[in-house]
Amino acid sequence: MIHVFIGTQAEYIKMAPLLWRMESAGLPYRLIDSGQHADRSESFRHELGLRVPDYAMGGTRSVDSVPAAMWWAAGLSRKLALRRRLDRTVFGGCGGICVVHGDTPTALIGALMAKRAGLALAHVEAGLRTYRWLHPFPEEIVRVAVDRLADLLFAPDGAAAEDLRKRRVRGRIITGSSNTISDALRAALESGGAHSHSSPSRPHPVVVTMHRVENLHRRHRRQALVHLVTRLAQTTPVRWYVHEPTRRAVGAAGEAGLEAAGVELVPMVPHAEFVRALAQAPFAITDGGSIQEEGALLGVPVLLWRDRTDRADGLGENAVLSRYDPEVVAAFLADPERCRRARRLPQSSPSQEILEVLADWVDG
């Protein structure tokens, strides 16, 4: 049996193409939701056409604060202590292989539970590194830990695969043609359900997002972006897609100031709608790894509000790593259009490649 263990919006988006293909191929699988984004997971599944999970953990509230994360992790850790119960409940008494994705707490919890229950482990999006243990935290630590535990490591490109080989991981390394986000992006662009907030007479807005711990919990970085966006809105339309933790970090006064400056603050929207907004944007400012990947595929200029990134996507082409340096930021904003590139969606499907390896694993 294949167990797919996910729980965040990004995991749902990036794993949906694999789940669609498993359904089409008639390959049995169990879907396990960690509860990390519990209050939104139902909407993710509805949007992406995914079925109800076979097992859901973590209650009904999302893990979007440090206290909530500690409570959630403590609850799931208790399950690790009872191996037989873990195998019977979370994994339905079925053996096989558990598939986790990326660098989230969900990926680490899923990996630990799978190994505790005696299952094999597959890591999708393996081998991405910043080589700085605390940047980002805890993502860098999670990736390394899960890579070491995995039996199958699906690297999204040759550089990630080479990193895994250099680290002498014990699992089998599979080099993919690209990241599964390319399949999700293609599906979003082909979807007819998205719509634009812009009127025909108004230019498409700059897209802004911020959600990473290293930005939300560092006041000077957070405020620097707020000030940057406030100034930017004086000359161009700006739309900030606001995550709930970001809303709390910025505060009511910060939101009021942004809106007074003309910044359009909107809650997170379905993936297809966001992708279309990104594709039409003059440029984007973000700390999101998935958005960095999507921007590279779309060729949209992207300013990364980060000191380091674990992805090479777009760097030196459409994407500029700010390192929070005012001179780098100013140079990008002076002429973002120079970073624009042609759209380049790969012809091959990385999700199909993963499906074929998993099917062989189950049959073997």
Same domain, 79 and 15: yes
Q: What are phi and psi of 347, to 5 degrees?
A: -80, -30
Q: Give pLDDT, residue 363.
A: 87
Tokens read off for 196:
């634009």
Reference 160, options 145, 142, 136, 144; nearest CA is 144
The answer to whether 94 touches 88, Cβ cutoff 8 Å, is no
Beta bridge pairs of residue 97: 2, 120
184 falls within a domain: no
Whether residue 185 lies inside any domain: the answer is no
The enclosing H or E element of 323 equals none
Closest CA to 275 of 193, 180, 169, 355: 193
Q: Give the tokens for residue 199.
A: 């009127």
Q: What span, in angstroms and rounded, lies between the C-alpha atoms of 151 and 181? A: 22
Let me know whether 135 and 248 are in one domain: no
Residue 296 is assigned to a structural domain of this protein: yes
Asked if residue 190 belongs to a domain, the reply is no
Residues 287 and 352 in one domain: no
CATH number at residue 168: 3.40.50.2000
Domain match, 204 and 147 both:
no
For residue 71, the model assigns a pLDDT of 65
In a domain, 164, yes or no: yes
Residues 12 and 146 in one domain: yes
Q: What's the pLDDT at 202?
A: 76
CA atoms lying within 13 Å on the CB side of residue 225: 30
My answer on whether 136 and 219 are in the same domain is no
Residue 187 lies in a domain: no
Would you state the structure tokens that stand for residue 60, as one six-digit string?
A: 């009904």
From 191, 258, 156, select the one nearest 49 (Cα to Cα).
191
Rg (the chain; Cα; Å): 20
Tell me, yes or no, whether 20 lies in a domain: yes
What is the rounded CA–CA span in Å between residue 85 and residue 91? Answer: 9
- H helix runs in the chain, sequence order: 9-25, 38-48, 66-80, 83-89, 105-116, 139-149, 158-166, 181-190, 213-216, 219-232, 244-260, 271-280, 289-298, 326-334, 350-363
Structure tokens at 100: 């986790």
Amino acid in position 214:
E
Confidence (pLDDT) at 354: 99
236 lies in the same domain as 297: yes
Please give the average pLDDT of every successive group of 10 residues along the chain, which has 364 residues: 96 98 97 91 95 86 65 70 80 96 95 96 97 88 97 98 97 98 97 53 91 93 98 98 94 95 96 97 98 98 97 97 98 98 96 98 86
Q: Is there a single domain that holds both residue 165 and residue 201?
A: no
Strands 238-242 and 302-304: unpaired
- Residue 58 · residue 7 · CB < 8 Å: yes
> Which of 293, 281, 286 has the alpha carbon at shortest distance from 246?
286
> Which pLDDT score is estimated for 191?
87
Burial of residue 166 (number of CB atoms within 10 Å: 0-12, 13-18, 19+): exposed
Does one domain contain both 84 and 124? yes
DSSP string, 177-228: SS-THHHHHHHHHH-S----SS-TTSPPPEEE----HHHHT-HHHHHHHHHH
pLDDT of residue 360: 95
- pLDDT of the residue at 340: 98
Domain containing residue 304: 196-339
Q: How many domains does the chain have?
A: 2
Which residues make beta-bridge pairs with 320? 303
Question: Are both 214 and 118 inside the same structural domain?
Answer: no
Residue 59 CA, chain-centre distance (Å), reads 22
Q: Are residues 209 and 325 in the same domain?
A: yes
Are residues 11 and 113 located together in one domain of the fold? yes
Distance CA 222, CA 268 (A): 19
CA nearest to 142, candidates 159, 154, 152, 130: 130
Per the listing, tokens 């161009």 go with: 236
Q: Does 64 map to a domain?
A: yes
Cα(274)–Cα(242) distance, integer angstroms: 12
